[in-house]
Structure 1
C-alpha cells in the first residue's frame, strides 16, 4: 500500500488507488518538491499489490494549474545558467511513460501548462464539462518543454497542436472531448462516478493483459518522448533565462499586458 506524502494524497477504493495532488491553496501548482513526490508515488504503483488501476486528480477545485509561478520567480533569473543537465520535468514525464499500471486522469478543474501535460500523459482522461485544459507556457514567455510538445500532436495532430499551444487558449471539457484531446467529458457532479466506473471496469479485466497492452501502445509515446522531450526541455531552460519570461511574470503579478522585446 502506497502512503500519502506532504503534497500527494493517496487513498484506496477497492482495487482502485486515487492519487491526488494536494496543494489546493495553489490550485495544485507543481513546485519542485511536488514533482519529486508525484514521481516517487508513480514509480511505486507497479509494485502496489493493493491496486490494479490508478486515478490521478487534484484536491479542491483544480486539477493542476501548472508549474508554480511563485517559485519560478525565485528560481529563474536572466543570464543564470541551470546547474543540472536534466530537469525534474524529464524524470516526471519518463515516470508516466514507464509505469505499467493504467492511470486515468480525472480532470475536475483547470489543467494548465504542466497540469495539462500531466493529464494527457495518463492513459485515459475523463474531464468535467466545467473544467478547462490548455498549455499556457508561451503566455508566460516559456517554451512548452515539459512534454506538451510530445502529447498534443500525438492526440490532435500538428496543426491543432500548434494553434492551441502557441495561442495558449484554454478548452472546456466538451471542446477537448470533441477535439479528441480527452476521452470523454461529463457534468462535474457525474465526474467521480464516471471515472470510478471506468477504473473498476478495467480493474476487473485480466491484469497482465491490461498492463502489457498499455505498455505496447506506450512504445509510441516513449518513442516520441525520447525524440522531443529533451530538446524541448533544453529550449525551455533557455527561455527561463530570458527577459521576456521575467516580463511575463511581472505582468501577471501586476495584472497588465506584457511588453516583449524578444530578449
Structure 2
C-alpha cells in the first residue's frame, strides 16, 4: 500500500479514554487489521498516550471487525516499482525492537481482547499484553517462516516464555496455527470464552484492574517485566538481525510473490 493510499484510509488506530481506561482499537477490519507502516506509527503513538496521561489506569487492545490483527500486511512486501534499498529494508526490520520496547514501557496493565486472527506481528502484540482474553474463534500463529523469513522478533521472546520451548519450537518452525482453547490450555493466553462473551469477560477484568491501587499495579507489572526484559535481551537482537538478513533473500521474495499469486512457492535456499 502506498503512502498516498494510506492517507486516504480512515485512521487505522482509534483511541478513547473513559473511566480511567484507554481503549486502543486496531482499525483496518477489511484487512483483518493487518499492519501497515502508518498503522505501526499510530500504534506507537497510542501506547504513548498511557504514559502521558496520569488518569489512565488500564490499557485495552481490541481489533475492529472479526479479527484482532492478522500481522504485517503482506502486500507491503511485494516489491514496488522503486523498492527500498537493502540497507533501508534491514533497518526497518531492526526497528522491530521499538514496538517491543513501546509495549514494555507502558506502565499500566494492558488487556488484550482477542477474536479471530492473531497472527505474526498480531500475535506478538497480543502476547506482550499483560492479560489476554481470547474468544473461541481466536487463532494464534507466528507465520514468519511462511513468508520466508526468520521468526526472530517478539514471537521468539514470548512463545517460549509462555508456552514452553518445545511447543514454541514446533510452532515457530512451522507457522502452524493454535486455537484459542489450546492457547489457554498452554498458557499463551489467560482465558478463552465463547465469542459472544468476549466483551463481557474482558470488561470484567478491566474493571477489576481499574479498581485496584495504581501504584501497586504498576510496581507489580514492572517487577514481572524484568523477566520479560531478560528474555528480550537474550533473544531479540540476534533474532532481528537474522530476520533482517532473510528479508533480503530470494526465498522471501519468492514466498511473498507466491502468496500474492496464490501459488505454491519454489524455494532456492538463497
Question: TM-score band (shorter)?
Answer: over 0.9
Cα shift readout 1:126-148 (whole Å, capped 9, x = no counterpart) = 00111111101101101112211
Which residue in the other structure is 1:207 paired with?
214
Which of residues 89, 110, 124 in structure 2 aligns to 1:117? 124
Secondary structure of 2:242's match?
helix
Which residue in the other structure is 1:223 paired with?
230
Which residue in the other structure is 2:88 paired with?
82
Aligned pair 1:140/2:129, yes or no?
A: no
Which of residues 210, 233, 258 in structure 2 aligns to 1:251? 258
Which residue in the other structure is 2:268 paired with?
261
Report which stretch shifted further, 154-163 or 73-82.
73-82
Secondary structure of 1:256's match?
coil
Stretches of structure 2 that go unaligned for 5 or more consecutive residues are 1-9
CA distance in 1 between counterparts of 2:95 and 2:112 reads 21
Aligned pair 1:175/2:182, yes or no?
A: yes
Report which stretch shifted further, 139-148 or 66-75.
66-75
Q: Report if aligned partners of 2:75, 2:260 keep a CA contact under 8 Å in 1.
A: no
Cα shift readout 1:156-180 (whole Å, capped 9, x = no counterpart) = 1111101011111111110110111
Q: Report if aligned partners of 1:77, 1:240 keep a CA contact under 8 Å in 2.
A: no
Aligned pair 1:55/2:60, yes or no?
A: yes
Secondary structure of 2:153's match?
coil
Q: Report if aligned partners of 2:93, 2:243 keep a CA contact under 8 Å in 1.
A: no
TM-score calculated relative to the size of structure 2: 0.91
Aligned pair 1:23/2:28, yes or no?
A: yes
Shift of 1:78: 10
RMSD over aligned Cα atoms: 1.9
TM-score calculated relative to the size of structure 1: 0.93
Aligned pair 1:64/2:60, yes or no?
A: no
How many corresponding residue pairs? Answer: 259
Which residue in the other structure is 2:166 paired with?
159
Cα shift readout 1:26-66 (whole Å, capped 9, x = no counterpart) = 21111122111111211221232332111111111111111
Secondary structure of 1:73's match?
coil
CA distance in 1 between counterparts of 2:85 and 2:46 reads 34
CA distance in 1 between counterparts of 2:182 and 2:19 reads 32
Secondary structure of 1:81's match?
helix
CA distance in 1 between counterparts of 2:194 and 2:53 reads 31
Which residue in the other structure is 1:45 paired with?
50
Report which stretch shifted further, 59-68 or 72-81.
72-81
Cα shift readout 1:155-208 (whole Å, capped 9, x = no counterpart) = 111111010111111111101101111100001110011001001101101110
Secondary structure of 1:82's match?
helix
Stretches of structure 1 that go unaligned for 5 or more consecutive residues are none
